[in-house]
Structure formats: C-alpha cells, structure tokens
Structure 1
Amino acid sequence: MLRPMRCLVLAALCHGAPLFLSAQVTPAADASRMPPPGWVGSPKQYDAIKTSTDLMIPTRDGKRMATDVYRPGRNGVPIAQPLPVLLNRTPYNKTALADLAVWYAERGYVVALQDTRGRYKSEGTFSKVQPADATDGYDVIEWLAKQPYVNGIVGMWGTSFSAHTEAGAAQYNPPSLKSMVLNMGGLANGWDHGVRYRGTYEMGRQLTWAWSQLLADARSPDVKALLTKEKVEDWYSVQPMRRGLNPLSVDSQYEGWYFDFFEHADYDAYWKDPMLAWDEHYGETSDIPMLHVGGWYDIFTAGTFKNFTELRKLKKTPQRIVIGPWTHGGNNRSFAGDVAYGDSAAIPDFLTDFHLRWFDHYLKGVANDVEKDPAVRVFVMGTGDGRKDANGRLLHGGYWRTSDTWPVTGTRMVPYYFQADGSLRPTKPKALQSKTTYTFDPRHPVPTIGGGASARLKDGAYNQREDPRFPPSAAPWLPLRSRADVVVFQTEPLAEDMTVIGPITVKLFASASTVDADFTAKLVDVYPSSTDWPGGFDLNLTDAIVRGRYRATRDHAVMLQPGRVYEFTIDPFPTANVFKKGHRIRVDISSSNFPRFDVNPNTGEPLGKNRRMITTDISIQHSATYPSHIVLPLAPARR
C-alpha cells in the first residue's frame, strides 16, 4: 500500500500555491500505477543529522552560496561511509525543505539544500534569469563531490525554479552530476512558453510572481504596506504598466526584470541564456538519466515534452516522462481546478518514495527495476461519469497509460475542419469562399478561465463561463461561447468514445483589419446537460495563442497587411483525454486570454509601450481554399 506523503512542502516550491492532501490511495493491480504495486519503499536506516547550517560554498566569481547539509548518522554521529548527495537549489528559502532533507538522510543520502544566488543567506544579486545560476550549480556540484563524506556522486531534484537550476547546471556537464528528477520545471525555451508565448507576454504570472516575491523579501514596512494595500488583480487592468509608475517601482530589481521580459520581444541572445533556453544547449547537456515530470495544466508542459523527446534522441542514458492531470506543483492532488480525476491521479508519496526509487537505482545501483519502466507514463483524462462529487467538482475520471513512444504507438493525426455552420468535421469544406468575422475590442478581453496559468490565476480545469473568481469576468456570468468575439466549432454528439493523446496543432487561416492582432485556440470537452450540470460543462483541456507580428518569425516582427489572409500555426500544449460518447469536441477561436497573456492593442506599437488600443475585425476562413482545422492525435482505445 502506498504510504501517505511524509513531508508536505510543495507550497514552498510552487510560488505559495495551496497544498492539498488527497485521500489514501489503494493500489489496483495495474502496472501503470506509481510506484508499481508491490514495490516497497526504502525504510528508515539512519538518524538524520544536520551537520552544517549556512555553509558558504564558493563559486567561480567569489560569491558564496548558503547551504544546509544533512547526513545520515547513528547516536548523534554522522556515519563515516561516503555516500551520494542529493542537491536542491531553491530561491524560496532552503529551510522550507528541511523535513524532506531529514527523510532522505534517514535513507542513506547526504542532502544539500541551498539558497540560490542573492536569495536569503546566499551572496550576490538575485535576478529571475541570470547565467550565474547555471555556473553556480556546476561549481556547487563539484565542490560537494569532493567532500570526504561524499562518494563523488551527485543527484539533483526540485520543482519549478529549482528544476530550472538543475537544467542550467546540466548544460555545463559537471562530471559528478549523475542523475536528475525535474518536476514541473521543463522550460525548454522562455520565449516560446513560460515567460513569453509565441510573441505574447505571460503577464499575469510574471506580475503576480514579482509582486509576491517582492512582498516576501521586503524589509521596509512602507513597502510591505504598499504591496498589501494594493491588489495585484487591480493592476492587471493597467495595460500596459509603465516603468516607474507602478507598485513594483519600489524595487528596481524586480521592476527591471518584469519589464525586460515584457519589452524584449524579439528572440535574440538575451533569450538564449542556459536558464531560459535549454533547447539551445541540448548538445552540451550531461548525458545522464533524467526523469521529466509535468502536468496537463502546468505552465511548462510543452517544454517538458520537448526536453524529453529531444534529449532522448541525443543521449544514450534513459530519459523518462510522467505527466498527470495536475496544475503547477499539484502532483499529490487528484483534482485540478473544478474537475476531479479519481484517487489514482495523485501521487501522495511524490516527493519521497517516488523520487527515492529513481535515485536508489541511478545513484546507488539498487536493483528495483526502475530501469524497466516505460519511457512514457501519462494520465488519460476522461472515463468518469460526470457527476458532481462531494466537493462540488466534476468527476471526469481517467487512468494511467504507458508507452515506449511519444505519441503512443498507433496514433493517427487526423484533421478536423472548421465549417461555415459552426460544425467541426473530418471532411474539408466545399465552398471556395467562406468566413466568419468578429470584432475584437482589447478593452474587453476574453477572461482567462483556468488552463496552465499558474500563480493566482486559478489554473486547471473549469467550466468555461465567466465567474467572479476570474477577473475581468462580469455579470451575468454567461458561458464564454456566448461572447461575440469567441467563434465556436464543435462536432455533433459523439456516437462512440474517442481517445485523444498527443500534441495538438491548429492551422488557422485568418485576416485582421489592423497591422497586428492575436489569435487564440482552445480545445474543449463539452459535457451534455445533466441533473448535476443543467447547462452542461465546457471543460477546457488545452489552449494557446500566437501574436500576428511573430506568426512566421521570432527574431524580428513582421506586421500584418490588413485584410490579407495568413496561415497561423497555433500549438496548444499536448493533452490526453477520452471524449466520451454523447460529448462534443469543441474548438474556440478568439483573440485574447487575459490576464494570462497581455492584450494586443492591435496598433503595431512597440510591445509594452503602447498608448492606444483599437478594435480589429478578425475573419476566420473555413473554405476549400483556406481550410482552417485542428489536428487531433487519435490514439487506440485502452486495451
């Protein structure tokens, strides 16, 4: 039986997100469960002894990183045997991870917890992205490996920013780094996702992160009073904020990187730093076993898959990927937003036994069969009965599925075409000319309702209708499909279940009446009306956006010619879902998803510096000449 997680510290790793403990899990006879049925975690073998507090480990430029070291021991004395070390480098205060360090030390590991550069007790200046975070990692790994109580073997683990520090260090190929578990930190390229997104700016998350961290770091009572009095949600509507004229102005460091990200729109050397663009440095990355972990509603899902697939091609050592129905850091939950997936969706022992099984094999050589695990392990959402559970959540259900390939073997990439009558079919439109035109007003954007938003934007799966929880939603709280600036294409109710597992691509042929505009696409599982959900439930699965001026280039902007039809490729994150019989598959097309992404003013002004906003008329083409469509990865049903 899976033991309850002993150390609940995900909140400290994941931007202060609330932590929930799912119900005790009873394993079924299913090899896809994690850990596998019958596997017994390593028992406590030692006492844990904290041998160093704020040990200052030097780096190449003379700055020192504060590190707490825990060692296995007996009777108050550390054991003499050199052991592997597990290193976690975090900007969120290393002391929050103390319980986990004790747990790993009790099972025979030296554990090093470290504040990253410029954070808490470490020296230097903090920046959300800086090359030194990568070289610091290299220097610390090699320093630890040479200590007499370490056997020269180092493993790294961490969530979110901590996982980014793992990737940064690995790009310098430290000889002593032997394995990593990267949880929800799969940032393959920050221009492409996670910071910017195909030309747009992930404004809501970056502003909220800067605000919360500045508040946590603030030593001045006046700064704390300001950031407590003001509400970050109110500042979402200031589009765009201006340097020196916003609450972040009390700290030039935080304000600086927020605006650098916002205003630095072209893809150039700025974005190719190891801490921002792992995909620029795969070749020089350590060839070591890596476990890439993510969630369907995580902010880094696209990067998690890219890192896994590309490193698997290039490296000889095992690369594995695990994706659950989780939001950022939600591995131990069986729900995401307002949707529940069943107890099997959660990994209660994620930060303990789940990690330990991997490290015991790859750092200690323990024969526990982890090397026999399939390369791909994903949770396929769906298969639930759609009732409302005791917590008021939709029971969407699902199951774990394994594969040695991605996409899974037998998957067919099938286009479903947008039709003039709003339907979605696997046959091309016949009309030579056909389009739907809507007007987008950037002053009244489509609100973000779930998805991979993170921070305080309520990420996850939700009924796609306006709601007081999702500003700038407004009464009377109607479904998004009722908006004139949301164009809906959907299938007829399905005659049988349809399994979709894999990457999603939307090919959109469209024009705008302005020199710039955004184009969004969202994949939705439409539940029919029921007793619990009288109006049905429009469940968001995945979505994406592209900015018109970066439709074909990323190193420089190319404005649109008003009225000209262009082909836009929109790549929502991969997903896995069973669309059940009687449900509809739906695609929503629009021009905003706010405040997750900044709103395009449509004027063509430099991004982040516009003074005006103008409406634009968007024409979505659905004709034989311009057959807009979504490509769905149709996978074989579960056997």
Structure 2
Amino acid sequence: MAMAKSAPYQVVLDANVMVAMRDGVRLATDIYHPALNGKPIDAPLPVVLERTPYDKAGIGRSEITARDAVPATRHAIAHFFASHGYVVVFQDVRGRFASEGQFSKYVNEGPDGFDTAAWIVAQPWCDGRIATMGLSYGAHTQTAMASAGAPGIAAMLLDSGGFSNAYESGIRQGGAFELKQATWAHRHAIIAAQTAGDVAAQAKLQAEDLAAWFRDMPWRPGHSPLRASPDYEAYLFEQWHHGLFDDYWRRAGLYTKPHYHRFPKVPICILCGWYDPYAKTSIDNFLGLSGRGTPTYLVMGPWTHGARSLSYAGEVDFGTAALFDGNIAADYHSFRLAWLDHCLKGEGPPPLAAPVTYFMMGGGTGAKTKTGRRDHGGTWRRSPCWPPADARPSVLYLHADGRLTPQASDAEEAFAAFISDPDHPVPTIGGAITSGLPIMEGGAFDQTERAQFFGADGSGRPLAARPDVLSFQTPPLDADFALAGTLTAKLWVGSDCPDIDIALKLIDVAPATADYPDGFAMNLSHGILRLRYRKGWDREVFMQPDAIYEITVEMFPTANLFKRGHRLRIDIAGSNYPHFDINPNSGEPEGNWSRPVVAHNRLWLDRRRPSRLIVPSIKTGPS
C-alpha cells in the first residue's frame, strides 16, 4: 500500500496478547508498537483501536484505493499507522478467530469494548488517549463501547456502521427483518467452523443450497441453512423472532440514541453511502452527536457498503467525481492518518472543510459506459448541517390514474387495489444492501425483472408492470429537480388481512435513448412498514377488515438531481423480498408462521384521504 508521507518509525508486533474481560473470557489482541532500532519507543503514545469479527490479522476487504484494487491486510494497515507514531491495537471480538468465548452477534461489544479500553489506558505504552476506527461491525463496536462509557476515547471514525437503533436500521426496518443477517450468518458460520477445525460442520454448511432455502420460508431452529451451526442459528432466530421493540433491542450495543450523552466530547467523523444499509443510522448518529461543542463530520457518497474507492454502485456509474480518492482525500489511508494527526497530535487542519460533505447523484449523460453501466453522474456538495439548510418539503399527491402531482385529488372516492401474495413476493432489485450475496446485491439497477435477481421471473418486464405493484410518477420534468434528505410517505390504506407490509421505492425514471431504448428506472431509496407496528414499535395493533388507516412510512435518506425530461416515481407493493422477510399477512408470530394468506389491499387516493409523498427539495445549483 502507498504511504501518505514518510514513516519515521519501525514497527514491533506483540501478537495474540490475551486480554481478560470481566467474566474471565480472553480476547486475542495484536499490539503494534512504533520502534527505533528494533525496540519499542519507551514513552507513552496515543493508541488506535479497532475491534473486529473479521480476523485481526486478515484481509480488510474495503482496504483498497482507486489505484490499488487489491485489499490490504489488517497487518499492513496497522503497520502503516504504527510507523507514524501510534500504538495500534487490533482485537478479535469474543468468539471469533483467536479469541475465546461464544460469539453472539453485536450483544457483547459494549462491555467487551469498555474492558478493552480500560486495559489499554492502564498500559505504560498508552498516553491515556484512544482513537477508535473501523468499518461496519468495526463501527458497531465503537458506538457500543462509547455507549457503555468506555474510558480514554479521544477521537472516533465511524465508517458505515454504528447502530443508532438496530431495530430501525441494520437488523430490522419498519418492523420487517433484514435478511442480509441470514446470508451473513451462513457465510460466517462457515468461516467459524473452518477456524475451529470442525471439518464436518464446515462441509455441511457449504453443502447447503442457500437459494433453495430462501424459496422455502419460514425457517425454524433445526430447519435452516444454519442447522450445522447451532450458535449462529440461535442468535439469528433470536433477532428474527424479536418483533417487538423490547429490552432485547434497548441494549447499548444495539441502541445508541439514548446513550449519546455518554459519548465523550471528542472529534467524530462518520462516513457512509447512499446504497449502504447504514445510511440512516449514520445520519441519525451525526444529528445526535452534533452540537455538543466538539466537531462532528459527515461524509455521504454514492457508494455501496465500504466501496468508497469505486465509482459505481450496481449497474450505475457516477463518474470519477464519486471516488473518495482524489475528491475527499488522496485516498482513505492518508485521510485516516490526517484525521489521527489532527485529533491526537494537533497537526494540520481538519481533513474535511465542512461539517457535511455529500454527493448529489445525477446530472450525467445517461449513456452506457465502456464497462456497461449507465452514466448517472453527480457532484460533491458541502453543507454546515443535514439536511441542507435550503431543503424545503415539497408535497406530491398520488392519484388513481398513476399521476404524482403537487395538486391534491378532488375525487370524492378513489383508490387503487393491489394484492400481497406471500408465495409470490415482489423481488428485490438492488437497494441499500450488504452481505447479501449470493441471494441479493446492493446498488442502483434498472427496475426490471431479470434472471440475475432472486425471485424475478426473468422476463425483463418493468417491475412496475406487475399487478401487485402500484406505480405513481410525475410528468416529464420541465426543469431539473433536486432533493436531499429523508422522504416520508403519508398513505391511507386498508386490507382484508390483519397485517400487511407496505414497501416503497423511490425511482429516477430516465427517458428512452439509443443505449437504453426502454428507458432506465433507477432505484434511489426504499422504505417499509409492517402495519402491526404502525402505532409504535413496542406494540402490535392488528388491522380490522375494511377499516382505513393513515400510516407514515419513512424512507432511507438520499440526494439526487432529477434531470429535465426525467420523471420522479414512487412504487408501492406489499413486499420487497429477499431484502426483507416475508409477511404472511395472517398476523402470526414474526418469522414463525404456517398459514400465509393472500391479502387484498387498497390505497386510498381521494380528497378526504390524500395519500402523498413529502420530498426534501433543494436548489439545483452547487452549494
């Protein structure tokens, strides 16, 4: 990996130091010391800490640059920072790789992070200051330990993670369960069996046909692709079956919002992407941690999870301007070093010029690139706040004829009918997804049913042409239109079933071109609500047949410029599978049902029941 500047120190590694937690379980910890003449510096120094379930000595899949697509090892990353004067501590979390104990995803990271920090600040080589960093789970460990009041934290870099509320973003959304948790569990159960030398379990897990299992819902303990890994199966079902927002979800490792006051008042930098499942949690954390008298920064790119050095997401390209490299900093390695030097050594200015740096997608040529992706384009913008100060709510009303306009309907009674069939759910085509392969893939895609997407019929027809999808769109825009922030839908719905899902998708519809003769319908944002939770996440209130309910569905944040001639579209369906688990519509317990029912639903669209979309519109020029 390229060096950002000359490295003044050699590095000495103390590998697999076993650090005891409060319950006696020991976590394997690698400590990289800056050294001269082969000996560690005999003085206390600031510490960089990363805690990971992905092997402290393994490859960091997102540790790439635009110039070098080969991921660096964590050893190389640690060596880089240690050579610039930081003691670097990388640790395997409980139950993973060289650490002792049983792995139960997320739930031990608060106390274990606290105990690790307390151990570090007591060491003679630590000057009492710890800068935390890490991507995804490595960000979750940071917010968990900060929520627990861990000592010594002097700076934080939260990259694409750190639960604000895992119930609302990351494990569940709108009451529905994110099935990336299942694909992640299967993949890492295989790795855990391999690490433990359990050849039989590894072979059984690898032999499972994951696609067949996703066609055979629901799963049950002992009847799932994780049946050869009881520990991983147990924690997955524990998450899945906890439908109510109860004490399980209120733990510090999963629910950061009530604990923001426990975070140290130190510089915090938050990075994420619009097609990342942690986009909402990242913005929640920025808003919750800002305004405390210490700098908090937010960077939002057009990226999938951790893919900051790629210009594309799915089958859409945003151009070289989308790269972190050369636009935000020379590369991610040099950015983190500049962040550490500024926060811990007082060297140089902050590496970010404004509290918020975000990528406004859109404005490209629409042509097909040499790599076969659509050129959507985009530009970086800076703002002192989020949403941008000039964001204003624009209301668009849904009409029975499929129009989406600023004018409300004057009809006395109007509705659109659609069904939700648990045996034939609407397929997921891209979105804010990670860890979903081989079942689903994150990013921006033309919303057509192609064989590459799980559950699609392979016909290539527009998703909006399905009879179980309602679609509402504006006329072709007569001027550019930009939005940045969180969209909200206020809908009036009814059903003949006690519980249904309402799944939304925001789409930028480009007109037909030579490269795309049928146009291109690009997904931007999604939202979902399981209606049994419409009165609150902590209670189930089932629907009554033929009753009409006003509901609110919050969508994921985004920023996009709709070019003149494009259309803004909202799709509404009763499912988005396999991004989210299937709702049987019967009101049976979460993830444990046996009587799926086809729901017959109505979306009301008249003067008394005006279903509408609230859009955060902003000026189209640069800011």
Query: Is the structural similarity TM-score above 0.5?
Result: yes
Q: 1:351 to 1:67 in 2, by over 3 A?
A: farther
2:339 alignment partner in structure 1: 358
Structure 2 equivalent of residue 534 of structure 1? 517
**Aligned residue among 6, 9, 12 for 1:49:** 12
Where does 1:75-474 land on structure 2 (aligned, <5 Å)? 75-96=37-58, 97-130=74-107, 132-203=108-179, 205-218=180-193, 219-313=197-291, 315-348=292-325, 350-370=331-351, 373-455=353-435, 456=437, 457-474=440-457
Q: Percent identity?
A: 39
Could you give the per-residue CA deviations for residues 65-110 of structure 1, whole angstroms, max 9, x where no partner exists? 1111112223322222322110000011000211100111111111
Deviations 1:494-519 (A, max 9, x none): 11111111111111111111111100
- How far apart are the structure 1 equivalents of 2:507 and 2:474? 11
Find the aligned partners of 1:364 and 1:231 in 2 and give their Cα distance.
Answer: 52
> 8 Å contact 1:331–1:347 — kept in the other structure?
yes
Give the secondary-structure state (helix, strand or coil) at the position aligned to 1:573: coil
Following the alignment from structure 1 to structure 2, what is the Cα–Cα distance between the partners of residues 451 and 247?
Answer: 24
1:167 aligned counterpart, secondary structure: helix
Residue identity in the other structure for 1:452: A
Offset of 1:172 from its aligned partner? Answer: 2.3
Give the TM-score taking structure 1 as reference length: 0.91
Give unmatched runs, 5+ long, in structure 1: 8-40
Paired AA for residue 204 in structure 2: L
* Amino acid across the alignment from 1:188: S
Q: Are positions 1:74 and 2:36 aligned together?
A: yes
**Per-residue displacement from partner, 1:512-565 (whole Å, max 9, x unpaired)?**
111111001110000100011111110000001100101112112110011111
Q: CA RMSD in A?
A: 1.4
Q: Which residue of 2 aligns with 1:23?
A: none
Unaligned runs of 5+ in 2: 59-73
Distance 2:354 2:318 in 1: 22
TM-score by length of 2: 0.94
Q: Deviation string for 1:582-628 (max 9, x for gaps)?
A: 10000001110001101111111112111111111111111111111
Distance 2:34 2:198 in 1: 40
Displacement of 1:350: 4.7
Does the 8 Å contact 1:186/1:292 carry over to 2?
Answer: no
Alpha-carbon contact 1:481-1:488 (below 8 Å) kept: yes
Equivalent residue of 1:248, what SS? coil
What is the aligned length?
597
8 Å CA contact retained: 1:186, 1:301? no
Q: CA deviation at 1:407?
A: 1.2
> Match for 2:26 among 45, 60, 64?
64
- Give the 3 Å change call, closer, same or farther, for CA 416–45 of structure 1 in structure 2: same
Q: Distance in 1 between matches of 2:455 and 2:332?
A: 36
Q: Equivalents in 1 of 2:294, 2:274: separation in Å? A: 26
Q: Equivalents in 1 of 2:520, 2:419: separation in Å?
A: 26
SS for the counterpart of 1:99 is: helix
Separation (CA, whole Å) in 2 of partners of 1:251 and 1:502: 41
Shift of 1:44: 1.9
In 2: Cα distance, 1:183 partner to 1:111 partner: 18
Check 1:570–1:365 CA distance in 2 against 1; reply closer, same or farther (3 A cut): same
Q: 1:551 aligns with which of 509, 522, 534?
A: 534
Superposed displacement of residue 222, structure 1? 2.3
CA positional deviation for 1:233: 2.0
Q: CA deviation at 1:337?
A: 0.6
Name whichever of 576-585 and 252-261 sits farther off: 252-261
